[in-house]
Structure 1
Amino acid sequence: MPSTLNPRTTSYEFLGPLGALFITLGVPLGTYLLFFACSEESGGCPPTLVPAHIFAALSDGAWWKGLWDTQATLLYLGWYSFCLLSWAIIPGTYVEGTTLRTGNKKQYKINAFPTFILALGLTLGYIYLFGPQSFTFLNDKYPGFITASIIMGVVQAVACYAASFRPGALLALGGNTGNHIYDFFIGRELNPSIGSFDVKTFNEIRPGLILWTLVNISMVCSLAVRRGGFANVTDSLWLVVLFQGAYVADCLYNEPAIFTQMDITSDGFGFMLSVGDLAWVPFVYSLQARYLVFTPVKLGAVRIAAILLVKLVGLYIFRSSNSEKNEFRRGANPKNLKFFTTESGSKLLTSGWWGTCRHPNYLGDLLMSLAWSLPTGFRTPITYFYVMYFAVLLVHRQRRDDENCERKYGKDWKKYMELVPYRIFPYIY
């Protein structure tokens, strides 16, 4: 493919190759670390193990072998195969993505939500027939499933990186530095595909995201077994499962919305997305539910109402701000929002939610993520890891967005920043 379509990347993110190497090694390690730092097996959250016990475990070959579970690996491969077959077999409409640099548009098959419903139906039916004890294996074999998902993510990242060197591959503008460590991490090819099957979008919202919900259901089953039935499962765990399940269902139902996101339009598919989608999402995001299995928390009506308020405020900000933006993009302006026109002809909102801060949808997202952790109480900060991680992720994404907008709008973007000075948190940041 001509170099004009695949220009050499001249700038780095994530502190360059050294940062990319650190994250490549750190993400798998961090996934395991969050399990052992907050698990019944290691003595609680945080664990009560002293350094001598930790060093003894790390020097024991049996401990390392315990990270591998053949049955968990086969079950994970079966799950991934189920997602692949569902994509191929379940009917779905085709939606065009954004225009590529080649002038073409990819066609994406939309059937993630029916896949979710099918997986949910089969799971609940299985539990109904065989009881909650039949579906505790995701919790019982947690480290083994982590290992299997990491291996799947690494294998796909390696395969896609190797395939990106074939003639005709369209590369990501940010993943063609020539540095193997960095390009492998960030993703070299923009849309690795096998025929009409797009690897990146499939992994983005299917195997890991749906598995996250199934892991949470396994936690409910585990607590039901311990406490003598689903009627005795704590309100805190039900609330976490409800919040996170609704989030997953919303993402899958609105599947076409991902085709305008930076992950799809700009980023290549490398280690960052592959391991992030397949391992980090289901086995880090389910930390709160897993914690509530071995540390049950009873909330009561007042605390449930307070947590619901946080969730609903976040949801309102997220939905209403996105609604303002989408209506404005379609040429409608029912609220008579203020805006100014850039030299390129684009229009930027300067009132409403988008006049309050430059990324109000991120603010709503953060409040909703806080509501996921509040049911765990305040015994440990570890269950609030997702909130802290998500805040860092959104700040990084905001900076990337702002850099892209500055390149796109030039001096008009500086004018916009004067009109809307706050990035995510009004009057704070």
Structure 2
Amino acid sequence: MEQSEVTIAYFNNGLDVLSMLSRWQVPSSESVMIFMSSVLFCIVATLVLPGKMVQGVPLKDGSRITYKINGLSVVLLGTLFYGLLCYFNFQIGNELIYSLVCKSFGQLLVTSLVFSFLLTSFLNLRCVLQPERSNYVYPKWNIIMNFWCGVELNPHIFGFEIKQFSYRPAFLMIGILNLSFAFEQFRLYQTLSQNFITFQIISFLYLIDCFVFEEGLIFMFDIIEENFGFMLVFGDYMWTPFIFTLQNLYLINDFNVNHFQTVANILIFIVGYIIFRGANNQKITFRQDPKQVWLGLIEPKVLETSRDRKLLISGFWGMARKINYLGDILVAISQSFPCLQCGHVLPWMYPIYLTPLLLHRAMRDNERCKEKYGKFWDEYCSKVRWVMIPGIY
């Protein structure tokens, strides 16, 4: 069997991260073209394709941003179009487009990093020139923290809200990278490995889920509260697409077969997804109608507070206060689990970074709610004892 040049280039004789990074060259004309084409496609498709118009939560000034919910059609159309290019062996120069994308993984990563830096710089400079746009969290002189956290809550470019939009090129790039490695493995071996198929299916389902429930994204903490600084820009354009697809670099030449591992992998995903999506859907249903019986089965039980707010204490939310985080972590583990026999830690980056991040977020949220609800939060915690894992934590 011919071994993939991709893996030879990056992971020959085991993983040496520093050596790998040193071989990642500066952005090439091809990597810039591929990356920018995906972003421009998302812009045009978002504007052209129909979508439901949904209002976000009220902002501090009382206004509400209207979002166009058509991310699913945008990302699926982009992924389908790229898949057709791969199927019909479209070439750039003398190279198949999917082979080029695989070999340019590092250059694409660096391209996205440079793009993130330039976009953040533009947004910050614009707020300096147009102070009415700014929403400073840190003093103006703290350039580093303002660059990292951002100085504008909901930046628009030509009337285009870019914070919510940025999920689209992130997930389209996931589709592009995953398809490229799938076509490349099939070109090399005329088959797809069991672990590779498992990863591809779980990754695709995760991508679809994000946009099937896109309306819920506009109520996320990132969208509502956090400025659009380098942290979020980098997260959307570099971290998400490349950390979520690192597994491809290990699985492209991996033909280890372990049926028990595959079954365990699928079960972890199913359990994690049920917890994650079930908990989030229950909360969305409760927000829309606090009296509605969820799925026609679970009566909403609540704890009344003095702030005219109700805290849900039934169903998933009666098991743990942040049980959706548990589901999120299990889904992350399921995306790295196909690499169990690869012997390297890097393809586990997603669950490794996500777990402490969500643990810290849970602690921050507990402090914020304690301050917000006072004695009612103590009563809530006595009724819902566990933070994330029922019976353990």
The aligned residue for residue 171 of structure 2 is 209
The aligned residue for residue 122 of structure 1 is 81
CA distance in 1 between counterparts of 2:139 and 2:133 reads: 12
Identity of aligned residues (%): 27
Q: 1:178: Cα distance to partner?
A: 4.5
2:379 is the alignment partner of 1:415: yes
1:423–1:128 Cα change, 3 Å: same
CA distance in 2 between counterparts of 1:333 and 1:178 reads: 49
2:358 is the alignment partner of 1:390: no
* 2:30 alignment partner, SS class: helix
CA distance in 1 between counterparts of 2:156 and 2:386 reads: 39
- Partner amino acid, structure 2, of 1:225: R
- Partner amino acid, structure 2, of 1:47: L
Segments of structure 1 that go 5 or more residues without pairing to the other structure are 1-37
* 1:105 alignment partner, SS class: coil
4+ residue runs of structure 1 moved beyond 6 angstroms?
none
Match of 1:284 among 203, 219, 243: 243
Cα deviation per residue 1:285-323 (whole Å; 9 max; x = unaligned)?
Answer: 1011221013333343x4322221111111111232223
Q: 1:412: Cα distance to partner?
A: 1.6
Contact 1:317 1:360 in 2 (8 A): yes
Q: 1:282: Cα distance to partner?
A: 0.9
Within a 5 Å distance, the mapping from 1:155-304 to structure 2 comes to: 155-165=118-128, 166-169=130-133, 171=135, 174=137, 178-203=141-166, 205-227=167-189, 229=190, 232-300=191-259, 302-304=260-262
* 1:340 alignment partner, SS class: strand
* 1:101 alignment partner, SS class: coil
CA distance in 2 between counterparts of 1:188 and 1:95 reads: 25
2:269 is the alignment partner of 1:311: yes
Q: 1:46: Cα distance to partner?
A: 4.3
* 2:65 alignment partner, SS class: strand
2:13 is the alignment partner of 1:41: no
Within a 5 Å distance, the mapping from 1:3-18 to structure 2 comes to: none
Q: How many residues align?
A: 377
The aligned residue for residue 322 of structure 1 is 280
CA distance in 1 between counterparts of 2:158 and 2:215 reads: 20
* 1:272 alignment partner, SS class: helix
Q: 1:156: Cα distance to partner?
A: 0.7
Match of 2:114 among 136, 151, 155: 151
The aligned residue for residue 400 of structure 1 is 364
Q: 1:153: Cα distance to partner?
A: 0.6
CA distance in 2 between counterparts of 1:176 and 1:217 reads: 45
Contact 1:146 1:283 in 2 (8 A): yes
- Partner amino acid, structure 1, of 2:270: L
CA distance in 2 between counterparts of 1:331 and 1:350 reads: 12
Q: 1:189: Cα distance to partner?
A: 0.6
* 1:95 alignment partner, SS class: strand
The aligned residue for residue 113 of structure 1 is 72
Contact 2:290 2:300 in 1 (8 A): no
Q: 1:101: Cα distance to partner?
A: 0.8
TM-score by length of 2: 0.88
Q: 1:140: Cα distance to partner?
A: 0.8
Q: 1:134: Cα distance to partner?
A: 3.9
Cα deviation per residue 1:129-158 (whole Å; 9 max; x = unaligned)?
Answer: 227954222211111111111111111111
The aligned residue for residue 47 of structure 2 is 88
CA distance in 1 between counterparts of 2:278 and 2:54 reads: 25
Contact 1:297 1:377 in 2 (8 A): no
CA distance in 1 between counterparts of 2:202 and 2:378 reads: 38
2:318 is the alignment partner of 1:350: no
Tell me how large the CA RMSD over aligned residues is: 2.4
* 1:115 alignment partner, SS class: helix
Q: 1:163: Cα distance to partner?
A: 1.7
Cα deviation per residue 1:42-99 (whole Å; 9 max; x = unaligned)?
Answer: 44484269x9xx59x96xxxx57x2332221122122221111112222223211110
CA distance in 2 between counterparts of 1:128 and 1:42 reads: 26
Contact 1:213 1:241 in 2 (8 A): no
TM-score by length of 1: 0.81
Contact 1:39 1:47 in 2 (8 A): no
Contact 2:272 2:327 in 1 (8 A): yes
* 1:372 alignment partner, SS class: helix
CA distance in 2 between counterparts of 1:418 and 1:177 reads: 42
Contact 2:247 2:339 in 1 (8 A): yes
Q: 1:337: Cα distance to partner?
A: 4.5
Q: 1:277: Cα distance to partner?
A: 0.5
Q: 1:187: Cα distance to partner?
A: 1.4
Contact 2:303 2:311 in 1 (8 A): yes
Contact 1:40 1:294 in 2 (8 A): no
Cα deviation per residue 1:150-185 (whole Å; 9 max; x = unaligned)?
Answer: 11111111111112231321516x455651111110
Q: 1:214: Cα distance to partner?
A: 1.3
The aligned residue for residue 369 of structure 1 is 332
- Partner amino acid, structure 1, of 2:65: K
CA distance in 2 between counterparts of 1:44 and 1:257 reads: 42
Contact 2:291 2:300 in 1 (8 A): no
Q: 1:333: Cα distance to partner?
A: 5.0
Segments of structure 2 that go 5 or more residues without pairing to the other structure are 1-5
* 1:281 alignment partner, SS class: helix
